[in-house]
A and B are shown apart, each in its own frame.
Chain A
Amino acid sequence: MAEFNTSIKNQGAVSIINLKGYLDAHTAPILENNFVDLIEKSCYQIVVDFKDLAYISSAGLGVFMAYIEKIRDSKGDIKLSGMSDKVYNIFDLLGFPLLYEIFKSEDEAVKKFTEIK
């Protein structure tokens, strides 16, 4: 299928993963590696930005579930931001808004982290 890539930037203690393209069973390992790397570096405050993401499949959603427990146990969180309506619908159907905080923009999500402190 189509391509997918990610880029990571840091804003203070918060790491922002930007997703781009199509996240499915074949491309999910790329995002998985990002999470593994961040956890290794003890970066537990993570914002995943969806504004450039065109599509996400169930396997893509699974990636978030795989690491959330560990991150929350380490007093961190994954917050989601910038979803298009289509992507939001997919998250919404599964009840993800009950499991994750979803923000309109990256900045709001980052702000939420800093506010807690």
Chain B
Amino acid sequence: MNLSSIKISANFVLWIIASLVTAIFIYRLLFFSSDSFVFFLINDSLSILLLLVLTAYLIKTLAQKKPHPSALVLNIGIICAFIFLVIMFAENILNIQFQNISAKLVQQGMFENLLNTFYGLMFLGISSYWFASLKELYFYKQYRRKNTYFITMSVFIALSSISNLLFSATEYEFIYNTFLIISIILISFNALKISWIAFISKKEKISLLILSIIISALFILNLINNGKTDFNGTILMNYSPTIYQFFNLILLYGGIYFVVLFFTTLFHIPTAEAYDRKANEVSSLQYFSKLITQVLDIEELSETITDITTKVSSADAAWIVIKENGDRKILANRNIALVDADLINRFLLESGICENITETKICSLQKFGNKSQLSEKFGSIAISPLRSYNEIKGYLIAARKNELIFYDEDKTAINTFSDYASVAIENSLLLEQSIEKERLEKELDVAREIQKKILPAKDPEFEHLSITSVFIPAFEVGGDYYDFFEISNNKFGFIIADVSGKGISAAFIMAEVKGIFSSLSRMIESPRDILIKANEILQQTLNKKNFVSALYGIIDFENEIVRFARAGHCPALLVRGNSVETFKPSGIGLGLTNQDLFSNHLEEIKIDLKQNDTLVFYTDGITEAKNKEFEDFGERRFAEILIEYSNESVNKIANEVIKDVTLFSRNHSQYDDITLVILKWHKKNNIDGVKEWQNSTPQLKTKVL
């Protein structure tokens, strides 16, 4: 909406300009008379109107475009050069075309009239453009937009121009002269306002210096060549005395303005470099403070830091080196080969010159012995510590090539900057660590969740066999697994296993092991055969590094026996009366070796069960639980507890064992999963009193594959 309305109004203004131009042409064709004052009054009124509208339009257009001052200056200059050529050669060219043009212009024919009007309008347009451009320059980077002076000057320029028509060469010429003098004073005063020069770069200042002197010379030459008796002056006076005067005043303004600009620039040049550097510093710090909150990627951040460092310190190369596990790591290297950076690092940090600096230090590579090995001739180094909590985490290093060396002013810039860099890098590293930590914790959560789902939710219950199980997971899932299987009405299978490794990979192997044993236990009724089959499967599927220790057993309720085989797992313990018997039949861990070797060395043990026989199965989390002195809980301590509570219920025994292990290792974190399964045999009185454990353990049914 807004845009289109602007467009319409801009078009409208163009329409007005076009109509005014047409009106001037027609009016001049119809009524031209070089003596008539009334003719010029109306003619100049139209021209002034056109000038006002056109200038307002150009000012608005320029304000919207916001051109760079250097571009404006260049445009002014080009047009000025063009006008210079026009003024110089117009008479000659026109004389070739029309003999004695000067005389003809006074007594105009229709064609000369048109030509004169066109010529005058061109100068009107150009002076209007100059005025608009000079106004734009006047207000560029003026923070206090006090335009009183400029408006006053404009008013007097206008008055002076009109008075050229009204009072010049009359008895009231003093009025014309007064306005002219005031205008010149105001123009000179306003031409001093050149605040924008401070804001352009050194390079631009140098080109501006040359441009401004040329342009000012052109303006002044144009002014000199545009006297009332000169050819060009005659034509313009003939077109409109007001416009003639306006054009001259603008030429004057331009001439003075560019002379002043030349000298201002000249005096700014010595400080231009310092200003450039400060401006660079400020802009990079602004850029950088944004980065601190934005950058999540340490590599990207380092790249940016080195990039800005080269800019801030005008260095040829920059790199960041950080200390990591007693080693040095280059995070980013800009304009320098890694090998070179490495060589210089070694020189700076191992010779002891720069190891413990507290602020930026400038070092020369003069004494660097391996200088010839560098692929480029770096000569001067500025090294800054990257600190966090008073500890040096790394260094930001800038280097200059050849004979260029760093000075103290560079030092302050780099020093300020490296402080920001320290904070940013520290933030980024901390963020990276916490993301990694969170990821690991999530992973372990998943692993624990899997393990929890794999292990039986409830212990089965039997008339002649009481069962308890305790499982305490370690922080990093340890891979312990145990399970119970219904085999037939009078047989019950159980397994206890430990998967090698930890975390999510161990959890996945556990899941596989559970699948294998759930199905094998229903097909095979011999612990030894089940383990042999399990080894065959695991040998194929497991990674070479992984293996599973397992102990599989079957309780035969009818014959009152337990049979089990051990594949690399902790021994089984039998508590009978006041003694503990350890059963460690031969057997290699699952997945470690081929079928022949495995089955040749796998023993199966059969024990006849007696009243109150207690069978204890466990994982190494119990016997290898550590105390502060890094001693193992061990088998002896384990056995003592079992004997002490041998007459108690399975739950009581398990509780006491766990209590003791926990107490023993209270000053040491639990490193491995702890699993304890205890079975206690109650002598059968009648042979038919069979169990009902299916009903009491619903999860066992659903688990059957």
Q: Which residues of A does B touch, CB under 8 Å?
A: 1, 25, 54, 57-59, 61-63, 65-66, 69, 86, 90, 93-95, 98-99
Cβ–Cβ contact B592 & A95, under 8 A: yes
| Residue B501 at the chain A interface, CB threshold 8 Å | yes
Bound CA span A95–B571, Å:
12
Sample of 28 A–B contacts (CB below 8 Å): A25-B502, A58-B479, A58-B498, A58-B500, A58-B547, A58-B549, A59-B502, A59-B545, A62-B500, A62-B546, A62-B547, A63-B545, A65-B545, A65-B547, A93-B549, A93-B568, A93-B570, A93-B584, A94-B547, A94-B549, A94-B592, A95-B567, A95-B587, A95-B593, A98-B588, A98-B593, A98-B601, A99-B593
Bound CA span A54–B626, Å:
13
- A28 CB to nearest B CB, Å: 8
5 tightest Cβ-Cβ pairs between the two chains A and B = A95-B588, A58-B500, A62-B545, A94-B568, A94-B589
Bound CA span A15–B584, Å:
34
Bound CA span A63–B601, Å:
23
Partner of A62, one of B501, B632, B671: B501
0 or 1 for each of B552-570: is its CB under 8 Å from A? (1 = yes):
0000000000000001111
Within 8 A of A (CB), among B475-503: 476, 479, 498, 500-502
Nearest CB in chain B to that of A24: its residue: B671
CB neighbours (8 Å) of A90 from chain B are 620
Q: Count of B residues near A, CB < 8 Å?
A: 31
Partner of B500, one of A61, A69, A98, A99: A61
CB neighbours (8 Å) of A61 from chain B are 500, 547
| Residue B338 at the chain A interface, CB threshold 8 Å | no
Bound CA span A1–B592, Å:
27
Bound CA span A63–B544, Å:
9
Cβ–Cβ contact A98 & B502, under 8 A: no
| Residue B427 at the chain A interface, CB threshold 8 Å | no
Bound CA span A94–B586, Å:
9
Nearest CB in chain A to that of B600: its residue: A98
Cβ–Cβ contact A99 & B592, under 8 A: yes
CB neighbours (8 Å) of B569 from chain A are 93
CB neighbours (8 Å) of B632 from chain A are 86
| Residue B597 at the chain A interface, CB threshold 8 Å | yes
Bound CA span A98–B600, Å:
11
Nearest CB in chain B to that of A68: its residue: B544
Given the interface pairs A25-B502, A58-B501, A62-B547, the reply to whether A1 lies near B671 with Cβ below 8 Å is yes
Cβ–Cβ contact A94 & B588, under 8 A: yes
Given the interface pairs A66-B545, A93-B549, the reply to whether A25 lies near B592 with Cβ below 8 Å is no
Partner of B544, one of A25, A57, A66: A66
Given the interface pairs A93-B569, A94-B568, A95-B601, the reply to whether A65 lies near B544 with Cβ below 8 Å is yes
Cβ–Cβ contact A98 & B597, under 8 A: yes
0 or 1 for each of B387-409: is its CB under 8 Å from A? (1 = yes):
00000000000000000000000
Bound CA span A1–B671, Å:
9
Point out which of B568, B571, B584 has the most chain A C-beta atoms below 10 A from its C-beta: B568
